[in-house]
């Protein structure tokens, strides 16, 4: 196992986390190597290095971090077709929780020793992979502001909620988009386009189309332009698992969706969030299900935990 450990993920001590992982793998006689991501280090470079090491020994690549770290490592693992393991260290851990992987490092490491590869659906926006979601518009801004608040006040769900409230209190210009889906074109105005690939997250906010993921589709949510109070109301509906009841939310499943600004410049770039990480992609954006699955090291039934 080649383990990519993000020393900055979550609230745990990275040294203690690495020590726990090594002790368990050493006791089991499992060959392993830990590559740490420290502040200022290029995650993509470390992930590519891990893939080369795993290919050289016919091994697996394991990501120890939050959803953003998992995304970066999976981006390198997917085209290589290697087994992909997860040791969750983040705040929300939607991907790992969906697949029954414990957030306790020792428990998750023990489960890795017995895990078997299983295919898992992956979403793509242009050439960028996403495991949980991808979005444009207001949602990426919420994520950007959330990270700023976390750096200042620490990582917790309460800090994430507070930063979202502050962001929503500021006015945001709606997007004018041209969409093409299943041969049909449509012009829309929306505050955000959110594409989900995680059943747990969609279920928690009350989106009934979450079941379409099991049919090889992605799920799109678009919010009609509304005022601040209405936006806060939508946020509360999502927090209580009732977003699917809101009239201002358009929801649909798809396999392929093309999106571009209604009046794009020749070199138009769009701010996109994939699994909590912000990047800029050139329009048009093409959302689709990856033709190649990710081979996740899935816990055995006795090692699975129910999502909290």
> Which domains does the chain possess?
2-114 (3.40.50.10330), 129-289 (2.60.200.40)
Q: What is the pLDDT of residue 182?
A: 84
Cβ neighbours of residue 224 under 8 Å, at least 6 residues apart? Answer: 189, 190, 191, 248, 249, 250
Token pair for residue 160? Answer: 């994430």
* Cα dihedral: 267, 271, 274, 277 (round 10): 120
DSSP string, 126-144: TTEEESSEEEEEHHHHHHH
Q: Is the pTM of this model over 0.85?
A: yes
Nearest CA-CA partner of 244 in 197, 196, 205, 189: 205
Burial class (CB in 10 A: 0-12, 13-18, 19+), 47: buried
Q: Say if residue 284 is preceded by a cis peptide, omega within 30 of 0.
A: yes
| φ and ψ at residue 44, rounded to 5 degrees | -60, -35
Strands 123-125 and 285-289: antiparallel
* Burial (Cβ within 10 Å: 0-12, 13-18, ≥19) of residue 123: buried
* Cβ–Cβ < 8 Å for 125, 285: yes
| pLDDT tens-digit profile, the chain (308 residues) | 999 999 876 556 899 999 999 999 999 999 999 999 988 788 999 999 999 999 999 999 999 999 889 999 999 999 999 999 999 998 789 999 999 999 999 999 999 999 999 999 999 999 999 999 999 988 776 776 666 656 666 666 666 665 666 666 565 678 899 999 988 999 999 988 999 999 999 999 899 999 999 999 999 998 877 665 566 565 666 666 777 777 778 899 999 999 998 876 555 889 999 998 889 999 999 999 999 999 999 999 999 998 86
220's enclosing H/E stretch is strand 218-223
Cα(269)–Cα(251) distance, integer angstroms? 25
């Amino acid at each position: 196992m080649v383990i990519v450990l993000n020393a900055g993920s979550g609230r745990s001590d990275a040294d203690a986390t690495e020590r726990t992982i090594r002790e368990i793998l050493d006791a089991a006689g499992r060959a392993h190597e830990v590559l740490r991501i420290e502040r200022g280090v290029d995650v993509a470079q470390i992930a590519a290095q891990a893939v080369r090491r795993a290919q050289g020994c016919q091994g697996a690549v394991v990501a120890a971090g939050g959803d953003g770290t998992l995304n970066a490592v999976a981006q390198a693992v997917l085209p290589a077709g290697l087994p992909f393991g997860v040791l969750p260290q983040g705040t929300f851990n939607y991907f790992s929780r969906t697949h029954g992987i414990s957030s306790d490092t020792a428990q998750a490491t023990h489960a890795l020793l017995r895990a078997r590869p299983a295919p898992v659906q992956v979403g793509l926006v242009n050439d960028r992979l996403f495991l949980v979601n991808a979005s444009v518009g207001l949602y990426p801004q919420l994520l950007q502001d959330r990270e700023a608040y976390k750096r200042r006040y620490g990582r917790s769900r309460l800090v994430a909620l507070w930063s979202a409230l502050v962001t929503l209190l500021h006015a945001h210009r709606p997007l004018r988009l041209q969409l093409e889906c299943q041969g049909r074109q449509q012009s829309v105005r929306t505050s955000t386009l959110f594409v989900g690939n995680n059943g747990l997250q969609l279920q928690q906010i009350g989106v009934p189309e979450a079941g379409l993921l099991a049919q090889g589709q992605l799920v799109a949510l678009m919010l009609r332009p509304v005022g601040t109070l209405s936006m806060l109301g939508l946020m509360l509906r999502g927090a209580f698992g009732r977003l699917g009841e809101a009239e201002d939310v358009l929801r649909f499943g798809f396999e392929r969706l093309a999106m571009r600004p209604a009046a794009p410049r020749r070199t138009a770039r769009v701010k996109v969030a994939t699994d909590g990480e912000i990047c800029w992609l050139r329009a048009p954006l093409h959302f689709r299900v990856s033709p190649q699955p990710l081979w996740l090291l899935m816990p055995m039934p006795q090692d699975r935990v129910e999502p909290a």
